[in-house]
A and B are shown apart, each in its own frame.
Chain A
């Protein structure tokens, strides 16, 4: 093909070296995509490999056993499974109620609206600086909630030890003396225990719930809201009976994802839950969780205990995987359900 030589040519076909480099680079990205898949299989496979001797030796009895004793070679993780589920459930109850309310508050812009009305009284709602304050405060509030997620969990643990426990010990012991016949308050709080761990855990999962729920509430089509107002609903009625039900799928998905986080959370629980091998419904009793068990026993584990701990890790992996699958599936279904409303 003849190319006119009086023009400078920018476009030209690739040389064979460039074609070769292209193939190599594409191959490289292909390999790394495969590696990401293989990594997950490798992690699960490796934990299972190290756990295999313990699985063969102990079988399902390991999951139902209640004692953990190195010297007698008796291991069981039922108290830890109970503690993991119980602490997560308690945290979920507290975290969900606060998290969803915060999400509604943020998505409806209540703070900004309130400030706007205050400014209007003084007649300065269109002031160049003050007029921007409502939307500024709304985004500040959202960022502050997200900041809760940025604080490392070990710092929450430290805060729990030196702030939460001293703060709640007296009231909790008073409740125990007055209402000790109720099983939830059946023991006194001597320091670390289930309640402080659950409270701190609730604070840690709150940002997850709030962020996803807020996005879902904002995504509710305004048509629905307007239809509710058109029927004569008050703002409160519209929120409770139209907007929240519409976003409920995504809210529920966020709660399940938060549960996945709570189940796997380690540090705050290892520092606050008390590491006691017992099953109790009392909120004030020390307990233990799977993740805290791993954190406490791995550093000094001998070969035999490593196999047992790997078995415990496998159980934790199975629990969190199931919970995360359910959460992701719910979220996907919820977003798909909204498509038809737009």
Chain B
């Protein structure tokens, strides 16, 4: 039965390589998506869009997660705030990803209209993904900070360092590989998420630019949404394109997972 459970995995990988590689060429990385009856084309804008959205999400969730984790790791076990923050992170990690999209839609797409901007944008997509990344980063970072031996911290305190100096110069560098693993896994998960992006970043057939400048406040393409949109189209070329995009997306996600695992293996040895 275990081997039966692995059949889907091999089937997915086989289909990805077989159907995905047919269309894969240099063009797909540089060209724009094809329109209805057009041949060829690519999804260069979706790759750029995915990287931009995930980058924004990381920019929000990484500092947030690490600073929160520092508080949690330093607090004693009786600390009410630390306990409720940990509980909040666990609640968030079991959160359906579509609800992160619903929240970002309310906060960024229609909520931000009060301040004169808003609408579907790369930033709204980034906010949605950051909510999914935050609990993963927070909980793994807290774990990594806890693993730092007490002796190292006490040696630092003994030299007259403040707890901030101890944290920044001793504890944080020691825990860094573990924290990086958490970040890479969170990024890998976020890159593959589709549901929160459907109605926050939406989709676009063009590059992430307006008037020759990079514009993060307009609808943005992403690989995941491209796969979803193109998979239900009746045109052969679009379906082939979504397989190629799926192959690129899976390779991207696996690559980040591997980096994460490589970093964590190094930290165990050290």
Contact = CB atoms under 8 A, between A and B. Distances in A.
Given A155-B227, A321-B91, A271 B232 contact: yes
- A contacts with B: majority SS: helix
Contacts of A98: 1, 4-5
Contact of A152 (B91, B161, B250): B250
Contact of A36 (B19, B85, B100): B85
Interface string A33-73: 11111011001001101100000000000000000000000
Nearest to B86: A36
A14 B162 contact: yes
B247 to A, nearest CB: 9
Chain B residues touching A, range: 35 or more
Contacts, number: 231
B91 to A, nearest CB: 6
A154 B96 contact: no
B192 interface: yes
B2 interface: yes
Interface residues of A, number: 81
Contacts of A324: 91, 94
A63 B134 CA distance: 32
B144 interface: no
A202 to B, nearest CB: 9
B106 A29 contact: no
A156 interface: yes
Given A29-B70, A37-B81, A145 B5 contact: yes
Contact of B188 (A46, A150, A321): A150
- B contacts with A: majority SS: helix
Given A154-B194, A206-B5, A263 B160 contact: no
A46 B108 CA distance: 12
Interface string B47-82: 000000000000000001001101110110000011
B30 interface: no
B92 interface: yes
Nearest to B135: A36
A98 B231 CA distance: 29
A338 to B, nearest CB: 20
Interface stretch (B21-29, B37-45, B195-203, B208-216): B195-203
A283 B17 CA distance: 31
A99 B230 CA distance: 32
Given A33-B85, A152-B192, A295 B98 contact: yes
A19 B244 CA distance: 56
Interface string B120-131: 000000000001
B186 interface: no
B205 to A, nearest CB: 15
Interface string A128-163: 000000000000010011011011111111110111
Contacts of B9: 144, 147-148, 151
A102 B158 contact: no
Interface in A86-107: 97-99, 101-102, 105-106
A294 B71 contact: no
B179 interface: no
A102 B5 contact: yes
B140 to A, nearest CB: 14
B265 interface: no
A10 B71 contact: no
B242 interface: yes
Contacts of A106: 2
Nearest to B243: A158
12 contacts: A10-B159, A21-B162, A33-B85, A39-B92, A40-B88, A98-B1, A151-B9, A152-B193, A267-B195, A267-B224, A271-B231, A271-B232
Interface of B: 1-2, 4-6, 8-9, 11-12, 15-16, 19, 64, 67-68, 70-72, 74-75, 81-82, 84-85, 88-92, 94-103, 105-107, 110-111, 131, 134, 138, 158-165, 167-168, 188, 191-195, 198-199, 202, 224, 227-228, 231-232, 239, 242-243, 246, 249-250, 253-254, 257
Interface of A: 10-14, 18-19, 21-22, 25-26, 28-30, 32-37, 39-40, 43, 46-47, 49-50, 97-99, 101-102, 105-106, 141, 144-145, 147-148, 150-159, 161-163, 203, 206, 210, 257, 260-261, 263-267, 270-271, 291, 294-295, 298-299, 306, 309-310, 313, 316-317, 320-321, 324, 327-328
